[in-house]
Amino acid sequence: MSVPPGSIIVSDWHRFPDSREFFSRILHNKKRRKFGLLEAPMMPPHMNVDIVRYKVFISGKTGVGKSALAARLAGLDFPKMHYETTGIETTVVFWPVRLKESGRVLFFRFELWDCGESAIRRFDHMLPSCKEQVDAILFLFSFTDRGSFDDLSNQITRITESSDRVVKLVVGTKFDLFMHTDVTESDVTHFQEVWGLPIFRVGGDVSAGLGEIAPLLNALAENLWHQDCMAASSVSISTPAALRETDSEIIV
pLDDT tens digits for 126-141?
A: 888 888 999 999 999 9
* pLDDT score, position 125: 84
* pLDDT score, position 46: 84
Question: Do residues 201 and 1 make contact, with C-beta atoms less than 8 angstroms apart?
Answer: no
Q: What contacts 35, CB < 8 A, 6 or more positions away?
A: 26, 41, 74, 92, 93, 94
Mean pLDDT on 6-35: 91
How many CB atoms sit inside 10 A of residue 49's CB? 15
Q: Domain 13-29+48-244: what homologous superfamily?
A: P-loop containing nucleotide triphosphate hydrolases (3.40.50.300)
Domain ranges in the chain are 13-29+48-244
Q: How far is CA 202 from CA 43, 90, 140, in A?
A: 31, 20, 10
Question: Do residues 68 and 206 make contact, with C-beta atoms less than 8 angstroms apart?
Answer: yes
Between 199 and 252, whose confidence is greater? 199
pLDDT tens digits for 24-50?
A: 999 988 888 999 989 999 888 888 889
Task: Say what percent of the chain tops pLDDT 70.
Answer: 85
pLDDT over 50 at 58, yes or no: yes
Average pLDDT over the chain, rounded to an integer: 85
pLDDT over 90 at 121, yes or no: no
Mean pLDDT on 179-187: 85
Q: How far, in whole angstroms, is CA 108 from its chain's centroid?
A: 10
* pLDDT score, position 238: 44
* pLDDT score, position 244: 44
* pLDDT score, position 1: 64
Mean pLDDT on 122-129: 82
* pLDDT score, position 4: 82
* pLDDT score, position 16: 93
